[in-house]
Amino acid sequence: MNNVETKKAEAEAKAEEEAKKKSRGFTVGNPQELVPQERPLVIVPDGAWKNDAQAQFAKTLNGYAYKNPTKWEIKKPVLLAQLEALGTNPGLFASLRGPVNTNITIKNTLMDKPIV
């Protein structure tokens, strides 16, 4: 098989798969293709993070910047000062993180409802 025939066969297989999906009355997408898995980091270390606490807090701040861009712009100076302070005093991480509650249970009410 040459390259043209291979591409044609792949296109036909994909079209057949799409037809199967639509014949059920709905289409199912692949979440790995629909949602980007990695975004560029907002905060990048110049070399390496000074300690694990600073790296973890930076990771949290990267997510926060994407999730709450308006709040990020307001709180950025304070949060970056906290990140910088973690470089010399990693013990601050526990106070920045807040109390950790290990007794949290999560209940999915959608799983308990019967399918109609």
pLDDT in tens, 73-108: 999 999 999 889 988 888 887 776 665 555 656 666
| Residue 7 or 86, more confident | 86
Contact 57, 96 (CB under 8 A): yes
pLDDT number for residue 74: 93
Model confidence pLDDT, tens digit, residues 15-71? 777 766 566 666 667 776 766 666 777 888 888 889 888 888 888 888 889 888 899
Contact 56, 65 (CB under 8 A): no
pLDDT number for residue 13: 77
How many Cα atoms sit within 13 Å of 23 on the Cβ side?
Answer: 6
pLDDT number for residue 5: 75
